[in-house]
Structure 1
């Protein structure tokens, strides 16, 4: 392989390096948010604490796998004897892809439970769950195809394009559906009491906007995937997706202290619906149960 060909490959894989650099910054935020969570919410249910710990573990695994992939392409494969490895689907990239799908499903699952506890609408919860399962299923289908072929060129073939497009579309629609459902059911909770109105506005701002953040990231990834199919420009966003989902979940959970403080200053009548909202966010933690008495 000539120097010009190596340089061309390096440019092609540049989004992997860019995604890792941004991921380092976001991973640091994830760690700090996790520390804040475990310090402030020691009374949370075992389910929630386990979910946060699992998300951090999977995201740490994702970070290490991306780092190994970048090391493989930018250092190991630059050795003349290893040039052929530049065109292969490295195992670490496959592991990071699976980690991304797992974290996405975990966080979307938490949001589905929140939507269910706010709405008690089974069909809405089933629809959102279907989209989340679809992104996981088609994502693993694409991963399996890459693993068998052992080549990144699969991403530019028909099967890879279909699998990737459906996975990204399902992820985007799921996030949009979650944001829309949260906005709708929070908006329905307006009672006319000033304290309740202010609290609901804040909940909408945090919950819905965090959902829109992941929606926009998924949508931009899908656009880059469809508009620039011959490049790996979409990868830079794909590599930070798990970090965005982790931080969205952690910020939402850590915001509950603000909700509790606001509830403590409200009347029982004006804050009754917000107690229900807080219960949905708390996911049956001990604090949520005590806040109702």
Structure 2
């Protein structure tokens, strides 16, 4: 069988260059995370360290794969019909990254929904993605590259599960966040921002996974699919790091520094008499590593003969709360 260098390791080389660029972004985001969030829990710190290590090893394996063919076996066309051990093993590192990230987002879905079945479906899809990645690796060692068409079903089901999990995560977060709009402009704007972020990250990785499935299904004997597959793991890692590093900016959307009157008084109280409203607004901001909890409590009362009385047409106390999946805790 005639194999084209352009469609095999030419495509892989393009994927390697793009992956190296995204890895540079990973290094920057990892540095910013450890510099800006030293008080995070050990679990989060270890998760970031493990993701960075897996991403590093994955890039090294991809580099070895391309170097082995384009340099060590330069002008050796028969070698194009074989696969290197590094090309086979790199699949599992992408799978490990995928299951860690999908479990991270599954926990976020659980925080906002408390839906056991929805969270369970996402976790099952993540496990299928990882398990079939191992099956693909084993099959790659047992199969010559020209017979990779026998593994199309493995990739289709495995990465199809990953795409389904990613899109389900994005849609679920958007749905439950939209249900928790409070009527407070600043927090509703924050929720809108989180919804856009959830859709962008979920659908980006989902679309890349679909591209891998399509290109491998149509062209299983070249490496066009590899270029997309190598990008998938980098997008997973950067999506988590971006979520963790965005916490401070999200917190400032709720409680910006230097904001005036009702937005930054802790606590603030204004009292007037003779049917003039009494408005009390409490603002307290604290960061945790699990979720963003935003609650609002305001009261609107009038005073008649020195006794408080609810204003006509308005409840004596208005309160609302929303829990959104970002590692901040804010009470307004």
Tell me whether the two structures share a fold, i.e. TM-score over 0.5.
yes
Deviation at 1:235, TM superposition (A): 1.1
Instruction: Report how many aligned residue pairs link the two structures.
Output: 276
The correspondence for 1:59, drawn from 55, 59, 83, is 55
Instruction: Verify the 8 A CA contact 2:29 2:238 in the aligned structure 1.
Output: yes
Deviation at 1:143, TM superposition (A): 1.0
SS of equivalent residue, structure 2 residue 326: helix
**In structure 2, C-alpha distance between the alignment counterparts of 1:155 and 1:173, rounded to whole Å:** 24
**In structure 2, C-alpha distance between the alignment counterparts of 1:259 and 1:275, rounded to whole Å:** 14
- What residue is the counterpart of 1:27 in the other structure? 23
Deviation at 1:187, TM superposition (A): 0.7
TM-score, reference length from structure 1:
0.87
Q: Structure 1 stretches of 5 or more lacking a match?
A: 283-287
Deviation at 1:212, TM superposition (A): 1.4
Which structure has more strand as a fraction of its residues? 2
**In structure 2, C-alpha distance between the alignment counterparts of 1:71 and 1:255, rounded to whole Å:** 37
Relative to structure 1, the CA distance from residue 132 to residue 268 in structure 2 (aligned partners, 3 Å threshold; closer, same or farther) is: farther
Instruction: Verify the 8 A CA contact 1:59 1:99 in the aligned structure 2.
Output: yes
Tell which deviates more after alignment, 93-102 or 257-266.
257-266
SS of equivalent residue, structure 2 residue 224: coil
Relative to structure 1, the CA distance from residue 109 to residue 268 in structure 2 (aligned partners, 3 Å threshold; closer, same or farther) is: farther
Alignment of 1:125 onto 2:93: no
**In structure 1, C-alpha distance between the alignment counterparts of 2:331 and 2:57, rounded to whole Å:** 38
Instruction: Verify the 8 A CA contact 1:13 1:232 in the aligned structure 2.
Output: yes
- What residue is the counterpart of 1:225 in the other structure? 216
SS of equivalent residue, structure 2 residue 40: coil
Who wins on radius of gyration, i.e. which is larger?
2
Instruction: Verify the 8 A CA contact 1:141 1:163 in the aligned structure 2.
Output: yes
The correspondence for 2:145, drawn from 141, 152, 160, is 152
Alignment of 1:104 onto 2:127: no
Q: Provide the aligned C-alpha RMSD in A.
A: 2.3
- What residue is the counterpart of 1:94 in the other structure? 88
Higher RCO structure, 1 or 2 (CA under 8 Å, sep 6+): 1
Deviation at 1:189, TM superposition (A): 0.9
TM-score, reference length from structure 2:
0.77
Deviation at 1:292, TM superposition (A): 5.7
**In structure 2, C-alpha distance between the alignment counterparts of 1:118 and 1:79, rounded to whole Å:** 56
Runs of 4+ in 1 over 6 A off after TM superposition: none
Q: Structure 2 stretches of 5 or more lacking a match?
A: 257-262, 264-280, 284-292, 296-319
Which structure has more helix as a fraction of its residues? 1
- What residue is the counterpart of 1:276 in the other structure? 323
Deviation at 1:116, TM superposition (A): 0.6
Deviation at 1:193, TM superposition (A): 1.4
Instruction: Verify the 8 A CA contact 1:275 1:292 in the aligned structure 2.
Output: no
Q: How does 1:95-244 map to 2 (within 5 A)?
A: 95-149=89-143, 151-157=144-150, 160-244=151-235
